[in-house]
Structures are given as structure tokens and as C-alpha cells.
Structure 1
Amino acid sequence: MVFHSPKRSRRTALTEGFIAGILFGTSSIFIRLLDVLSVSSLAFWRLIIASAVLVGVTLVLRESFNLRMAKENVRQISILGIFLGLHMVLYISAVKNTTILNATVLVNTAPIFSMLLSTFHFNLKPSRLAAMGLTTSFLGAGLIAYADASSPLKIHLIGDLEALLAAVAEAFYLSYGRETRSKMPLLSQVIPIYLVSAFIIGFLCLLTRTPITLPQQPNMILFLIGFGILPTALGHTFYYSSLSNLKSFETATLALLEPIGATLLGVALFGEIPTALFVLGAVLVLSGIVAVALKE
């Protein structure tokens, strides 16, 4: 991992995004394996564990942590922490309330929302290809929602909505993060961002009297540590790092590896075999996202 270097190349950033996409595929699996923990507990501990791991990396590799720059950019870090916290809570809840395929496909509509954000915020008119991709993705999302509406498990619709809201939060996180990424070294950003997210989640749990618990079984503790390391300390950090040389659309598109890997693991571990309508909807969503990303 290249933490801070003026010689960073686009190829390095693409490699980071590719690795992040693969690691993200483990996220939904860990959430399912850790079904004994609540959404807030999972979100809180994954961020705390990731922060602790990255602090350890900083010490071992003797990477400098620029506290002064972190203080100077506290507003940006706080905003990013809020968006990341929202994304994680919504995504974890989505995985609990719908299928792995639905959650991972719908959360990866983030490039679509990034494009919409650019259109309305920066007054950038989308190209014909991007508009076609947007339409295709929403058609696919509609098919997935229709399939769930026809299912006796109505809770899946709630999970689908949560996954879409998680994608919106991720779009804001990436768009805002791209402006901040180049201002300071990587670890001086992501550690405070993760800690701010964890603090906000913990504070809200305190206000709502929602307990944050730890698992007692040794295997569950190992799963929780893995959840904090693989998709978070490594995955999300590589993901954010790639923003230095990629557009937010490109970074988000590399995460499309997540639903592929997660769905295969879901079939193997939990027997979640997607129906034909789900697969068709997923293909439309992913095709639309690729169309948007190719143009951008």
C-alpha cells in the first residue's frame, strides 16, 4: 500500500481499487456470519478494529501521522466520517434484511448517484451513454424490487431501500473525499475518519440506549476481527486511497467486483441461489453502471 507519494500513478490507484473490490466481497459474508451482533455493534467494532490496525501499521512502518493537518481539516474529516458511518450502518442493515445479491448489487449503484450529484451540483449535463446507463440501472433496480414485492419476504424491500440509501451515502463520501484525498497523507485522513464514524455511531447508541455488544464465542471474535481487517482496514483504505488518481466514478466502479464475489460466496456458504429475475436485474444494474463509468 502506497500511503503518500508524489510518484503515485494511475496504475497504482487502479490496483488499489481492484484489490478493494475483491476485499469488499467478504463484507456481506462476515455480516451474515456475525448474525448474533446488532447493526450498530457491527458498524462500531469494524471501525474501531480498523482504526487500531492502521495505528499499528503506522507504528510498525514508522509512517508519520500529521496531527496538525488532521486538525486543520477537521471539518472535512468530520463530514466524511458522517457519510461513511451512514453508509456502513445502512449497508450492514441491508445485508441483514435482504439477500446478499440484492444488497451488494444495489449498494454498487453509487456511481449512478455520483453522476447525478455531479449533474446537479456542478451543472454537468450527462452524455447520451451515461443517460442510457442511468436508465438501464434503474430498470434493473426496478426488476429486483418487483421480484421482492412478489416474494412473501416483504422485509427484502426494506433491505433493498437501505442498500440504495447506502449507495447515496457512499456517493457523497466519494465525491467529497476526492476533494480531500490530495490534501494530506492517507493514514492521517482515514484513521480520524474511521474514529469519527465510530464516535458518532457510539454516541447515537448512547442517546437511544442501544447496547453495543461483543460476541463471546472465540470463532465469532475471529470473524469480527476479520470483518475489521479485510473489508475495512484494507478494503476501505485502498478504496479511499485510489481517489488520489481516479475519479469518484472510476473508484466506485471498481467496487463492482463485490457483488460477483459476494454472491458466489453466498451461494457456497448460505445456499442463497438467486432467481432468474434477480440475475436479470443485477445484470442490467451492473451494465448501466459500467456504461456511466466508461463515459466518465
Structure 2
Amino acid sequence: MYKKLPYLMIAFAAAMWGLIGFFVKGLSDAGFSAMEIVTVRVVTAAGILVLVGLAAYRDHLKIRIKDLPLFIGTGILSIVFFNWCYFTAIELMNIPIAVALLYTSPAFVAVLSFIFLKESIDRKKLIAIALTIIGCTLAAGITGQEGASFSAAALLIGLGAGFGYALYSIFGKVALRKYHPFTVTLYTFIVAAAALIPTTGIAGKASILFNGSTWLYVIGLGIFPTVLAYFAYSWGLERTESSTAAVVATLEPVIATLLGVIVYGDRPGILQLIGSLLIVISVVAVNISLPARKLKSTSLSD
């Protein structure tokens, strides 16, 4: 069971990420733009993580200055960059296409892991990646007639979201060789917050944060799909291959679809259901190790 725990932690992280729409919808209704919500998310997470660190992880609060580029990688090149690409893609195209392009990340992770982390790409992993990409495309509700209406620049920005999303697994994997998962999560959000606060003008909306139930969405967004999710993912990533972790994490759109059905009454089509099933199959595939066939020895004498 312990051997499967890293995958369960990654699946838990994906489930938490899948709930993000609930909190984003609440903050959007309160008048926040997409990038302002991202800023609220990372700033709240950074604040919570600092408090948790002072209370329970005092031995994991320090990093070496020479390792700061690793957290620029996880915080700015990944968190900030992929969110910018993702929300820009939504504006240039639409949500289904943007989601599908975001979840090309397992393919990027597999290639980058092969080049930089020397991880192998076996047949099972290739099949799982292919099923993931096809499944995410179907789950997003894409039809074959929509792609022609989008510019090459829009599609490249959408792919940039998948690439940026993948970078967390690469930079995070290297950082986890030197630091505790909590340390990696903490400095990822400190660096991301430091980059976003001066560029988004979020300070001008500070008064709105505590109006009505808005603060509940802020705290919930900071805790569940952010602090808990990234800590769980980092913990699991430390103990498994980046490419495998990326495939397991694609449970997120399945959870997001279930949230839409249960909470908002969405009704997915047959292609979306098939896509979700393919994602689940791909996640199961990378987690099942078939026992090797026992070689027959001295069978003639038995």
C-alpha cells in the first residue's frame, strides 16, 4: 500500500485542483479578473504556508541563494507563466480548447524528463500519454471543426500553458532532491506572489476581499486547491517519476466535470464521458504493474 501512496497523494492533489472552479466562480462573481484571482490564490497560499512553516516546519524554512533559480522555475516560469498563458488562451479561444491544450502537459513532461532527468519512456507510458491527450481533448468537448478558426499565435499560447504546467514537475523534481516538499511548495508561492503583487494591482481591491462571503472563497482557494494540492503533489512527485506523476494528475478535468454535474447541473455529452473514461484508464495503466510470468523450471520433472 505504501508504494501506491505517492500516486494516491498525486491523485488527491488532482482532486483538489479539480475543485478550483467552485472558488474561482465565487471570486469572479465578486468582481475579480482572472489574473487577480491567480494573484489572490498565490498570495493567500504564501501567507498560509509562512504561518504553517513558523508553527510546524521551522527546520525547512531556509534555502540557499544559489538554488533560487529552481523556485523562479516553479513559481514564475511555471505557476505565473502557465496561468497567464491559460487565461490568455481562454480569452483568445474558449475554455474547452484552452483546457485541452493545458493538458498536453504530460507529453511535455515525458519529453523534458527524458532529456533533463534521464527518465525512461516505455511503451506503457507512451500509451498512457496518448490516452491522456485524446481523453482531455474529448473531455473538453472539442469537435473537429473548431480548430481552424483560431490563429497560430493563440494555439501556441495555449500550448504554452501546457508547457508551463509541465515545468513544475521538472523544476520541482530537481528542487526536491535538495529540499523538503514543504520548502518547495512554500518558496514556489512566495516567488510567484512577489512577481504578481506589483504587476496586477490587486492591492486596489483589498477592501472587496472581506465583503460578505468573499473571504471564505479566498481562504478556501488558498487552502484546498493550492496549499494542500501543491504540497500533496510535491510529496508524491518526490517519490515517483515526473512523467508518471503528470499522467496521474490529469484526473483533474474528470473531477472538474463531476463538480460541474453535481454542483452546477452541467450535462456532459457522450464524447466528454468517453474522454473522462480514457483519462481514468491512463491513470490506472501507469499504476498497475503486471506480475512477471514465472519461468517454468524443472517442469518436466514435476
TM-score, reference length from structure 2: 0.75
Question: Is 1:85 aligned to residue 89 of structure 2?
Answer: no
Show the counterpart of 1:25. Answer: 18
Q: Alignment length, in residue pairs?
A: 279
Question: Is 1:273 aligned to residue 271 of structure 2?
Answer: no
Show the counterpart of 1:176. Answer: 171
Shift of 1:239: 0.9
What is the SS of the residue equivalent to 2:32? coil
Shift of 1:199: 1.9
Q: Which amino acid aligns with 2:32?
A: L
What is the SS of the residue equivalent to 1:53? helix
Cα separation, 2, equivalents of 1:279 and 1:122: 34
Offset from partner CA, 1:62-82 (integer Å, 9 cap, x none) = 532443x34231121112212
Aligned counterpart in structure 1 of residue 205 of structure 2, from 209, 213, 229: 213
Matched-pair contact (CA < 8 Å) for 1:70–1:189: no
Cα separation, 2, equivalents of 1:127 and 1:251: 15
Show the counterpart of 2:216. Answer: 222
Between 1 and 2, higher relative CO (CA 8 Å, sep ≥ 6) is seen in 1
Shift of 1:181: 0.7
Offset from partner CA, 1:159-193 (integer Å, 9 cap, x none) = 99766533321212102211111202333332222
Matched-pair contact (CA < 8 Å) for 1:70–1:188: no
Shift of 1:194: 0.5
Offset from partner CA, 1:237-264 (integer Å, 9 cap, x none) = 2111222211112322332332222211
Q: Which amino acid aligns with 1:29?
A: F
* 1:84-103 equivalent positions in 2, closer than 5 A: 84-91=79-86, 98=94
Cα separation, 1, equivalents of 2:216 and 2:81: 25
What is the SS of the residue equivalent to 2:50? helix
Cα separation, 2, equivalents of 1:212 and 1:290: 46
Unaligned runs of 5+ in 1: 1-8
Matched-pair contact (CA < 8 Å) for 1:108–1:255: no
Cα separation, 2, equivalents of 1:142 and 1:17: 21
Offset from partner CA, 1:106-128 (integer Å, 9 cap, x none) = 54442222112234556877434
* 1:254-269 equivalent positions in 2, closer than 5 A: 254-269=248-263
Offset from partner CA, 1:110-165 (integer Å, 9 cap, x none) = 222211223455687743444444444444455557428459xx89xx99976653
* 1:1-296 equivalent positions in 2, closer than 5 A: 10-35=3-28, 36-61=31-56, 63-67=58-62, 69-82=63-76, 83-91=78-86, 98=94, 107-121=102-116, 126-140=121-135, 143=138, 144=140, 146-147=142-143, 149=145, 164-205=159-200, 213-214=205-206, 215=208, 217-284=211-278, 287-288=281-282, 291=285
CA RMSD between the two structures: 3.7
What is the SS of the residue equivalent to 1:218? coil
Cα separation, 2, equivalents of 1:294 and 1:84: 30
Change (3 A) 1:51 1:125: closer
* 170-179 or 115-124, larger mean C-alpha shift: 115-124
Change (3 A) 1:104 1:41: same
Cα separation, 1, equivalents of 2:242 and 2:272: 27
Q: Which amino acid aligns with 1:213?
A: K
What is the SS of the residue equivalent to 2:224? helix
Offset from partner CA, 1:34-90 (integer Å, 9 cap, x none) = 2121122111111111111111112222532443x3423112111221212223344
Offset from partner CA, 1:216-273 (integer Å, 9 cap, x none) = 5321221121101111111112111222211112322332332222211112332322
Matched-pair contact (CA < 8 Å) for 1:106–1:164: yes
Change (3 A) 1:107 1:137: same
Cα separation, 1, equivalents of 2:284 and 2:235: 21
